[in-house]
Chain A
């Protein structure tokens, strides 16, 4: 009996890290909802890019975009800019939630958001503005 219990404990101890490693393999990002959000953001990017370059819009540390210098945009364009930023953030919020839900872990949303915030900032082009722990920084 002792052997059985020992054996059971040993096998379980071996299996547990295995199941954890399996969960780490990949995140599902090929759902229809994610593809839709991705194309919508892709189509919007050429409109947003000039605002990234001018510094009017920057990448906030919560994984969204934010108007950081409205003065860099002519008054007539500001309303359009605000709509653009709002639409982009709506897509981004939906994207983070969709990735978390699509992987059966809605509670991962904050970590997914944080991961994206870091990667958007890392991949941002030189001259674009990103928000770090202390404030806005020009790359």
Chain B
């Protein structure tokens, strides 16, 4: 019986490791892309800034 459990545990762990290695954080990548594009195109002043409090904009904006 014991080897069966080990086999089960191994069967669960092995694909999980592979999954983590190839896992691509799509949402984080999109957020990163947006931040870089906004910087490159200087879009912050044209669009309402996203709710994220960590603003790196050097321009001093009046508090909302």
Contacts and interface: CB of A to CB of B under 8 A. Distances in A.
Contacts of B40: 38, 41-42, 45
Contacts of A123: 34, 37-38, 41, 43
Given A24-B25, A25-B28, A45-B42, A5 B6 contact: yes
A112 B29 contact: yes
Contacts, number: 86
B28 A26 contact: yes
Interface residues of B, number: 33
Given A2-B1, A16-B13, A27-B31, 16 more contacts: A5-B2, A5-B5, A5-B6, A9-B5, A9-B12, A13-B12, A16-B16, A23-B25, A26-B25, A26-B28, A26-B32, A42-B40, A111-B26, A115-B26, A115-B33, A116-B36
Interface of B: 1-2, 5-6, 8-9, 12-13, 16, 19-20, 22-43
